Every structure is written in C-alpha cells, then in structure tokens.
Structure 1
Amino acid sequence: MDESPSEQTQSHIYAGPRTDVSQNQGKFRIHFNFPGRTVPDHDDHGYGPLATVVESFMDPGTLIRMHQHRNEEIISWVPDGVMRHDDRQGNNLVTDPEHLMVMNAGSGFWHSEETLADDPPLRMLQIFVRPHSLDLEPGIQHEPIPNPAAGEWRHLFGPEGTDAPLFVRNDVDFHDCRLAVGDTVTVPSRAGWHTYLYVFDGAVDVGDASVGYTESALVADDSDISVTAVENSTIVAFTINPDAPITRQGTIGR
C-alpha cells in the first residue's frame, strides 16, 4: 500500500519531502517549508507558534526594497555569506555566520535587504514565528552568536528569559548543529514540547526516518530521539510548545 507524502515512520516521528511551494523573482528565490504539513491530516500549515521556515536565495547585486512586516517575528539565519539590512529606525546591519538577526515586527516594522555586486551568492533561512499577541512593540535584535562546535547543538534564540542570545515572543527554541559523517546527537527537547528538524545540507537519520537535503522531520512528543549524519550535514531544530497561544495575522507567516 502506498504511503502518504508525509511518511509516518514511527508513532511520533514524521518525515516530509522538500517543499513544492516556491516563488521565483529572478535574483531572489524562496522555498516555503511548512512544519504542519509534515504531519498527515494536520489542519494548519504551521505548527503551533512556528509558522514557516523559508529557504531564501539572493544573487549578488540584489535589492529587496523597503517593505513592512506586522505581527510576526522574523529570524535571519545566515550560515554562509552576508545579508545586508536597512530599516526606517536607522539601522544598517550585516547578518553573517557570526551574527543572528531577529526582527520583532509587532505593530509594524519597515526594512530592506540587499546583497552587493561583490558579495557571494546567498542561501539562508528566514524563520517566521507567530507572536503570542497582536501589535506588540516593534524592534530589532542583531547580536553576535557563539562559534559553532562540531557535533554540538548551538542555542540561538528562544522565548524571552532563556539563555539564548536572542528572543522571540512565543514558545519556540532554535538550535543549529554541524555533523560529520557518522556523528550522532540527540534531538533538542523540552517536556511537553515537540521538535521540527530541517536538513539545510547533507542527510541524516532521525530515529528510523531517513531525512535528506532540504527535507524535514517532526518529532511529535518529547522522546529522546537520535540524529545520525549519513553525510556531512548542517541541521536546524525548532523546539515548539504546540499548545502556546498564537496569533495569525502576520504579513507572511500567518
């Protein structure tokens, strides 16, 4: 019997293929990854406060003109290259492998993004988190992040009050990890929370599920699940409170 596109490999692990939802604007291209669609018959494209994880490409010499976001938290994770940010608050920021940016859009935040002609091609993740309340105070965070350690999770953002360098205004923790072939780590977890994992580069086994390049998996409980690299891999994981209060009026990440 054929299995559904999101294959349930264990009672609590779901593996999903690369997204087929994309936009091509020439020098700027995006692929939407919807964590909720990893789970069969889930009634939301997002999963609790995690709305979408967008794989974004910008060619050298690309400008995304000033535009507004509202009622979403947008995180820019750049594992290689640079993304240049300007905004109406007078910030001129460069996000790169040493820095992470969180735009807490709240009631409204205007910004632009750019790569210069002599910048390298850019591939990054832009993560959209649903805040717990509408029309919060807007602001931006741009902070240095710890150097990655091979084979270890790095905690980069979390709810307000955690030990992560940056925060979002809902119950989502974000980690990244770089694994050599054969390395094994345990999926980050919290009691009562679930974890969505995305393979940015390489291929891994998540429990008994094989998850390849740009594919994802969702662990729908807080079990200790191993991740083993089949290839040299860069992976990210979002630990999510599925019962957190959410809003759904974001500009993109509804």
Structure 2
Amino acid sequence: MNVDSEEALYKAPRTDVSQNQGRFRIHFNFPGQNLPDHDDHGYGPLATVVESFMDPDTLISMHPHRNDEIVSWVPAGVMRHDDREGNKLVTDPEHLMVMNSGRGFWHEERTLPDDPPLRMLQIFVRPHSLDFEPNIQHGPIPDFTANEWRHLFGPEGTDAPFYVRNDVHLYDVRLDEGTSVELPSIAGWDTYFYVFEGAVEANDTRFGETESGLLVNEDTVTVTAHEESILVAFVINPDAPITRQGTIGR
C-alpha cells in the first residue's frame, strides 16, 4: 500500500460524512481520503476516526460490535459504558477504553443528566484476523506532560499501556502556543494526525481544528502550534494484513 514517491505530507479538511441522532451525533474522518486517488477510505489497519458528541442525559442502548478494535479517547467529560459481561466503566481524561470486539461484544453508552456535554474520539482499527476472542481493556493512562507525546496504545506485545490487534500506535499531545514537536514515526510506517483542538503548522501548511495530515514514506515532520492545541497521531504499518468485516470499521 505504501506509495512509491518522495516523502510527502497530505492535508485533508473535515469530511461531510455524519449522522445526527439528536442527542447523539457522530462525524467520520477517513484517513485514506488524505491520499489522492487512494481506493480505500481507511489507511491500512486504521479504518476511521469518529468524532462523537453526546448531550447530557443520553443513552445509546445495548448494541453489538464484531471484528472491530474500538478505542474510546475522552479529553474532557465522561463516557459511561455498561456491557453484557457486567462491566460498568467510566472513560474520562484519566482513563482509556479499548473494546476488542472479536467475534462479538454487546455494550451501551450513556451520559447522566449532570454530566457535561461530551466530545470524544472513537477510533476503529481493523484487526488482522477475524473472530478473535472478545476482550475489553480499561484503565488509567499517564498524566499529560505539556508538549510531549503520550503513548496510549500499540500492537499486542509492545510496551504501550493498551493494545489493538494490528499494527497501529496511538499518541496524543497538548501543545502550548508557539511550541514544536516532531510527529511520532517508525521507519517504513506512515503517520496520520488529527487536530482535535487548536491549529498547527507543518511543512508550511496550516492545519486547523478537525483537519488532518498523512505523512507517507518514513521521514518525520515538525508541527508547531499557532495556539494551544490538542493532537492525536497514529503510526501505521500501511502494509499490515487487514480484515474488512467490522461492524463499523470496514
């Protein structure tokens, strides 16, 4: 899948693919659409990055997922999770949740009346094989250190605090205005980043809130914050084997 060209950084604006269910709204971001003439909405194992909004006192009733690796990243507020395994979990800025749905996992999500409005990311990773044993991971994550990337998940067997069952790493960072960091990178892999809040510049190109960039062909890039900003970055093996039978992350 990796393109045979010089190193390049491809920018994409916010997509117009969304669903509005009133108190629950979602907006799909497709990393494959950053690359011109790419024939897949996803990019290797990373299927989609979904921006999710939940008003206070909202219930998304019990529903199944299958063959999706679903990561819930909550930079502010709370997302409450119940499932048929008896788990009652709260995901917030101090906790991450990874639902490795495998052959099937049922869950529901909610906010309480006194919870704040929620804006979060739900990340869908394509597993490398079908019908794994389902699993859920939930726990604390390290505190932010300003202007430093924080490693949140990676493939099984890595030193990341959480895992997904394919070749993707997730990092996040909070940048002060005027500060710079290099995008995370691995030789032979590519890096996709999404500006959750604020605005940054990379390779003389401005990326505003909800815009994204895809860096291909190994070399890293420095991003500089024009204002206080929050970014997530995914380091992806574009040639990893993938499945495309997930409930959402096809």
Shorter-chain TM-score bucket reads: over 0.9
Counterpart of 2:105 (choices 109, 117, 120) is 109
**Deviations along 1:185-219, whole A, 9 cap, x unmatched?**
00000010000000000000122221111000000
- Tell me the matched-pair count: 245
Equivalent position SS for 2:15 = coil
Shift of residue 40 of structure 1?
0.7
Matched, 1:232 2:216: no
4+ residue stretches of structure 1 with deviation over 3 A?
none
Matched, 1:221 2:221: no
In 1: Cα distance, 2:218 partner to 2:96 partner: 27
Paired residues of 1:15 and 1:210 also in contact (CA < 8 A): no
Matched, 1:38 2:54: no
In structure 1, what is the equivalent of residue 168 of structure 2? 172
In structure 1, what is the equivalent of residue 3 of structure 2? none
In 1: Cα distance, 2:178 partner to 2:219 partner: 21
Matched, 1:154 2:150: yes
Paired residues of 2:7 and 2:217 also in contact (CA < 8 A): no
In structure 2, what is the equivalent of residue 6 of structure 1? none
Matched, 1:200 2:196: yes
Equivalent position SS for 1:37 = helix
Aligned-pair RMSD on alpha carbons?
Answer: 0.8
Provide TM-score, normalisation by structure 2: 0.97
Equivalent position SS for 1:188 = coil
Provide TM-score, normalisation by structure 1: 0.95
Shift of residue 11 of structure 1?
4.9
Q: Which stretches in structure 1 are left out of the alignment for 5+ residues?
A: 1-9
In structure 2, what is the equivalent of residue 52 of structure 1? 48
Shift of residue 115 of structure 1?
0.1
In 2: Cα distance, 1:242 partner to 1:191 partner: 12
Q: Which stretches in structure 2 are left out of the alignment for 5+ residues?
A: 1-5
Paired residues of 2:7 and 2:219 also in contact (CA < 8 A): no
In 2: Cα distance, 1:80 partner to 1:41 partner: 36
In structure 1, what is the equivalent of residue 67 of structure 2? 71
Equivalent position SS for 2:139 = strand
Matched, 1:12 2:8: yes
Matched, 1:90 2:121: no
Equivalent position SS for 2:77 = coil
In structure 2, what is the equivalent of residue 4 of structure 1? none
In 2: Cα distance, 1:81 partner to 1:206 partner: 29
- What letter is aligned with 1:55? E
In structure 2, what is the equivalent of residue 3 of structure 1? none
- What letter is aligned with 1:105? S
In 2: Cα distance, 1:224 partner to 1:134 partner: 33
In 2: Cα distance, 1:29 partner to 1:232 partner: 25
Paired residues of 1:178 and 1:234 also in contact (CA < 8 A): yes
In 2: Cα distance, 1:77 partner to 1:165 partner: 14
**Deviations along 1:210-243, whole A, 9 cap, x unmatched?**
1111000000121121010011100000000000
Paired residues of 1:57 and 1:124 also in contact (CA < 8 A): yes
Paired residues of 1:68 and 1:111 also in contact (CA < 8 A): yes
Over the matched positions of the two proteins, sequence identity in percent amounts to: 73
In structure 2, what is the equivalent of residue 131 of structure 1? 127
